[in-house]
Chain A
Amino acid sequence: MQELYYKTASELSELLDKKELSAVELTKTVIERTKAVEDRVAAFNSYDEADALKQAEASDLRRAGGKTLGPLDGIPVGIKDVLAVKDQPLTCSSKMLENFVSPYDATCIQKLRSNGAVLWGRLNMDEYAMGSSTENSAFKKTSNPWNLDCVPGGSSGGSAAALAAGEAPLTLGSDTGGSIRQPASYCGVVGLKPTYGRVSRFGLAAFASSLDQVGPMARSVKDAAMLLQGIAGHDERDSTSYRADVPDYLAAMESLKGKKWTLGLPKEYFENVSDESAMKPVQDAIEFYRSLGCEIKEVSLPHTEYAVATYYIIATAEASSNLARYDGIRYTHRAEAFDAKDSVDIYCQSRAEGFGEEVKRRVILGTYVLSSGYYDAYYLKAQKVRTLIRRDFENAFKEVDAILAPTSPSTAFKKGEKTADPLSMYLSDIYTISANLAGIAGLSLPCGYSDGLPVGLQVLGKPFKEEEILAVAQAFESAHDFKNQHPNL
């Protein structure tokens, strides 16, 4: 029998509805599981048991009164520590915000509250979402539950590890260059980066505003759809938020069941593969789709080779500006023994102490690419390439419904393996970055193992057609049993 803490959110929701389980019982189970494995996994920066139980009690009261707020009512959702939750710490895993408590809720958090979800714990991440291994956290190194010597991926490593370890049935992550999909792939869970603009960014501490997107992480495709339903939609507090109704994802997925999709394989993603064994499950998955009667077509995304360079110019440029507010003046870390002649000394000493290496590296890089004399050569050029990358996808989607690709070139790597070589770390996002530059939706789901570590299959889809990639993913998931495979902890 499946442990309660490993059940999917949809299963738990059913149990709650049938009154075979109360939200308080469920929350207690999650709390106990967390306490049992946290010393090994270290997925959470903080959690507030009393607050979670209070929310669960409120959910049970609603249910007793026959007024549940939908499938998320009573389900604990772990929150990446980059999202503002009122009266709870918001650290971005940075020393800079170590003592910061948010006075307000992010829009997606507000939405989860109005859907009755139990907001549960703040999950570890790479500092300010910069990184691919969660080793850049100022507080702790999260372990991959499948192999504690390995990284969980990043930057939403805490969100992925918590799911894999049974510490939360659902979590929220954020994805700037693959930060949901890559850790989902490393930890054997489902991660969805929605189309840019589908989920409000209000309350998401910005890394790179034009690339960041909040998204669901879950143990099953259906759960991801359920959580996306709970957070998607237009928000007047975010000008980049998309003005359109949100479809009923579960119904849409149901209606798309059995569809014979035309699926594209970008040839640039399958050339020069370094880790053949990690590619095997992806190849098997492609064969599976062929066996379903889907048409598999090769497509070309000719500007793929420029994606990583383009990304690190645009993302760092925006980051250098977005992170300027963390200055030691108002609410952030201020150097204690600062020897300040003027405000510039406060900034310099506070930022030198408050930011980690990777953040500093990117702020400096971003400052450089925006500075006068370099703007045209780097930032402006990168924006032009970005347009070409977006067009690559537009052209591909004229031929195919969705694109299949590996999520990451490898499975989870060993802790410390890439920390000394930032560039090799950056390359672990090589298959995910383009989707952020193009603004399109992308999903990673477990499709097998290599050396005991999960391998992710990535499904990229048309803008604002999340239901289609969910349906494509579900076709695979329903014929396989990966969602019921769990690490031995």
Chain B
Amino acid sequence: MEYEAVIGLEVHVQIKTESKIFTRCRQGYGYEPNTLVDAVIMGLPGALPVMNKASLDGIIKAGLALNCVIPDYCKWDRKNYFYPDSPNNYQITQYDKPICEGGYVEIELPGENRGVMGEHKKIQLTRIHLENDVGKLNHFSEDSLVDYNRAGSSLMEIVSEPDMHSGEEAFAFLTAIRQTMIYCGISDCDMEKGQMRADANISVRPVGQKELGTKIELKNLNSITGVKNGIDYEIKRQISELKRGKQQVQATWRWNADLGRTELMREKEDAHDYRYFPDPDLMPVEIDDEWRQRLRDEIPELPWDKQRRFMKEYGLPYTITCVLVPDRKLSDWFESAAKQAPKSAQALGNLVANDLLREMGEAGISLDECKITPDSLLTLVRAVEKGVVPKNVANKDVFPEMFKTGETADQVIERKGLKPDFDEGQVRAWCQEAIDENPRPVEDFRSGNDKALNALLGPVMKKSRGKANPQLVQKLIRELLG
């Protein structure tokens, strides 16, 4: 029998804000334990929560970017449960009136090969709501200690419909969310810092069966590849159990990334009764069109739209857009040059995706620290086009110098004497020689075989000891044969 998996994800994303969600206490990562706390965070008697508007802005923006409906009204509820990492022993969250309803995430599945765009698919969302994060328990041999630094951070929970069927789709789902959040400046989604965490609900059923199989909740998916591997492992495990005739029991499992397998956490979910009720300390939030519009205006062009546009507008190959687009800064950097010379966009794209990233990687610096600017990169492309230097020289000799010093291409060429010591007249003479010496390709070319031109190119390059600009050579040969 064939089986299929049905997967729903709950993704927690920490919203990047200065202060925590219900107090002015600072939000951050990597601080001494229990230094980012105040009376509200520690749940001291008398402390009251006050909504941070920036957190609301963040989630509304996220909701708009993920195609959700933002209702006019949402409210806060308390989810009551005792746990040492939760100082109030209730979490402020949203129960029946979340801030974002519905929506979908557009994902891309891998194509036939790396060079082509894969199939795009919409994964439906149930809702996105806002809640406060909890602290962190650290276990030692004798004791457990709690660090409340993370407690009270703004956390969004993005809940998907059971709309995915493989680890790959879940991987693509998380990647798409992550890129959207980073693009919109809502979160850095650094999974190592706990800024993005995922739980998966996985069930398996015979193909063709309508009702869902027994649901397993998979926790501890704290890297994007962990999500893919964990889910794939769990699907295989469940299918093999079913094939052996063993019925699944609803349970919570955890992904052990070190051992590369899932482990049972608890068989039966504790009969939790969270006793949700409206938080009497917080007023409901009313959202109007003006508010929604203000945030909609802040949403930049989103990754998929940008990728499609780059391919269409600049004729960039898919592979280059895959390098440029995921990094909003890099793609903006590229575009500020490409806009000035759309016809040279591909050459610019190649330089950014290959040479610039390579040099940055070797130097260990970020784009912000880069000396080379979009305008100076443009000088290099123009120098190649004008035939001042051939492409291989431009890439090998000129670009690294520009990267190091911040000079323009012309300055580097001048300083290093890379300009060929012959003029266009000399190149023209070499072309004529080559035409005279190679009657065969000349004839082929004249009879309509455009490719025959290449057979004339080689001899000219040889005569110039590789210094002639191939584009110039081609142009001149065409003229002479024309």
A residues whose Cβ falls under 8 Å from a Cβ of B: 83-84, 90, 92, 97, 100, 102-104, 106, 201-206, 208-210, 236-240, 317-318, 320-321, 324-325, 327, 329-331, 343-344, 347, 367, 370-372, 375, 379
Contacts and interface: CB of A to CB of B under 8 A. Distances in A.
B277 A209 contact: no
B368 interface: no
B129 to A, nearest CB: 18
A318 B78 CA distance: 10
Interface string B283-309: 100000000000000000000000000
A238 B45 CA distance: 14
Interface in B25-77: 39, 42-51
B90 interface: yes
B146 interface: yes
Q: Pick the 10 closest A-B CB pairs, nearest first.
A: A324-B89, A205-B45, A210-B280, A209-B280, A370-B275, A325-B43, A203-B46, A84-B46, A325-B88, A205-B46
B275 A367 contact: yes
Nearest to A326: B45
A203 B277 CA distance: 23
Given A240-B282, A320-B80, 10 more contacts: A90-B45, A102-B44, A102-B45, A239-B51, A240-B283, A324-B80, A324-B89, A329-B84, A330-B42, A331-B44
B281 interface: yes
A414 to B, nearest CB: 32
Contacts of B275: 320-321, 367, 370-372, 375
Given A321-B277, A347-B82, A239 B46 contact: no
Chief secondary structure at chain B's binding surface: loop
A97 B45 contact: yes
Contact of B48 (A202, A343, A367): A202
Chain B interface category by residue count: 20 to 34
Contacts of B8: none
A372 B51 contact: no
Given A325-B89, A329-B146, A209 B83 contact: no
B87 A237 contact: no
B80 A331 contact: no
Interface in B316-365: none
Contact of B277 (A239, A317, A324): A317
B273 interface: yes
B46 A106 contact: yes
A236 B50 contact: yes
Given A370-B275, A371-B273, A321 B45 contact: no
Nearest to B271: A372
Given A239-B281, A239-B282, A370-B277, A204 B43 contact: no
Nearest to B81: A324
Given A201-B48, A239-B282, A370-B277, A321 B87 contact: no
B53 to A, nearest CB: 12
Nearest to A84: B46
A317 B51 CA distance: 23
Nearest to A209: B280
A410 to B, nearest CB: 31
Nearest to A90: B45
Contacts of A329: 84, 146
Nearest to A383: B278
Interface in B236-258: none
A104 B276 CA distance: 30
A324 to B, nearest CB: 4
B39 A325 contact: no
A240 B282 CA distance: 7
A97 B46 CA distance: 13
Contacts of B280: 208-210, 240, 318
A202 B83 CA distance: 25
Contacts of B84: 329, 343
A382 to B, nearest CB: 11
Given A331-B42, A370-B275, A371-B275, A239 B48 contact: yes
A318 B273 CA distance: 16
A90 B44 CA distance: 10
A97 B43 CA distance: 13
A103 B50 contact: no
Contact of B46 (A206, A236, A240, A321): A206
B89 A239 contact: no
Contacts of A92: 45
Nearest to A373: B273
Contact of A238 (B48, B78, B87): B48
Q: Choose among B45, B82, B276 the residue with the greatest number of A CB atoms under 10 Å from its CB.
A: B45
B45 A372 contact: no
B49 A239 contact: yes
A321 B276 CA distance: 10
Q: Choose among A324, A372, A375 the residue with the greatest number of B CB atoms under 10 Å from its CB.
A: A324
Contact of B44 (A104, A236, A317, A324): A104
A240 B84 CA distance: 28
A284 B281 CA distance: 41
A242 B39 CA distance: 22
Contact of B283 (A236, A239, A327, A379): A239
Given A240-B283, A330-B87, A204 B42 contact: no
Contacts of B88: 324-325
Nearest to A94: B45
A239 B284 CA distance: 10
B276 to A, nearest CB: 8
Q: Choose among B44, B83, B276 the residue with the greatest number of A CB atoms under 10 Å from its CB.
A: B44
Contacts of B277: 317, 321, 370, 375, 379
B280 to A, nearest CB: 4
A321 B80 contact: yes
Interface string B126-163: 00000000000000000000100000000000000000
Nearest to A96: B45
Nearest to B50: A239
Contacts of A210: 280
Contacts of B48: 201-202, 206, 237-239
Given A104-B44, A325-B43, A327-B82, A238 B50 contact: yes
Contacts of B42: 330-331
B43 A321 contact: no
27 contacts: A84-B44, A84-B45, A90-B46, A104-B44, A202-B47, A204-B46, A205-B46, A206-B45, A206-B46, A209-B280, A239-B51, A240-B282, A320-B275, A321-B78, A321-B90, A321-B275, A321-B277, A324-B80, A324-B89, A325-B45, A325-B87, A330-B42, A343-B84, A367-B275, A370-B276, A371-B273, A371-B275
A317 B88 CA distance: 15
Contacts of A379: 277
A324 B84 CA distance: 11
